[in-house]
Amino acid sequence: MKIGEKVPDLELKDQHGEHFSFRDLVGEKAFVVYFYPKDFTPGCTKEACSFRDSYEDFKELGAEVIGISADSSKSHSKFIDRYNLPYIFLSDPNKKAREAFGVKPNLLGLLPGRETFVFNKQGELLHKFNSMNAGRHMPEALTVLKKNRN
């Protein structure tokens, strides 16, 4: 994805097994979409909890947070319960979201990539950030939203 492009028109299942469409957020609020390798792994748990710990800051900026991995809705539900995660998780088992967003694998293709995308209320990409350092994604996304608040 390139800066300024619209969020892909995709439908995935959330942590409840319900259909979720990005188009439902467009026009409603800004949003952060972060792709991560796997539920319950140390780096991914750190990243998820950092978004949890700052979730009120995102809400105050009128933004939603969405985590995406290949894990099942059931796995996401357990992950959410274990770590008290207040935001949306989507299941991408066939990697259609990863492909639509252009998320590449990391570590010689052995791990799914860790990448964060920040969209404005109109669904346009403001910023993307690719780093296997899980601790850097939340502050980067929050900074972009603060700079671009309407």
Residue 94 lies in a domain: yes
Inside any domain, residue 30: yes
The pLDDT > 70 percentage for the chain reads 95
Q: How many domains does the chain have?
A: 1
- Supply 18's token pair: 């319900």
Whether 132 is in a domain gets the answer yes
Going by C-alpha positions, the residue among 46, 29, 59 that lies closest to residue 150 is: 29
Inter-residue contact 72 to 38 (CB < 8 Å): no
- Whether 2 is covered by a domain: the verdict is no
The CATH code of the domain that includes 142 is: 3.40.30.10
Going by pLDDT thresholds of 50, 70 and 90, the confidence category of residue 131 is confident
Amino acid in position 45:
T
**Which pLDDT value is given to residue 108?**
60
Statement: residue 150 has pLDDT above 60: no
Rounded (10°) CA dihedral 130, 20, 52, 133: -10
Question: Among 26, 32, 44, 66, which one carries the catalytic annotation?
Answer: 44
Predicted pLDDT of residue 110: 59
Which pLDDT does position 119 carry in this prediction?
97
Tokens 């357990």 -> residue: 78
Does residue 44 carry a catalytic annotation? yes
Q: Taking the model in full, what pTM does it have?
A: 0.93
Range of the domain at 43: 11-147
Inside any domain, residue 4: no
The yes-or-no verdict on residue 39 having pLDDT over 60 is yes
Query: Using CA atoms, how far apart are residues 52 and 56, in angstroms rounded to an integer?
Result: 8
If one compares 77 and 43, the residue with the highest pLDDT of the two is 77
Q: Is residue 54 part of a domain?
A: yes
Q: Which stretch of DSSP H or E encloses residue 64?
A: strand 63-69
- 23: helix, coil or strand? helix
For residues 105 and 78, the model is more confident at: 78
pLDDT of 109 reads 58
* 66 found inside a domain: yes
Residue 84 lies in a domain: yes
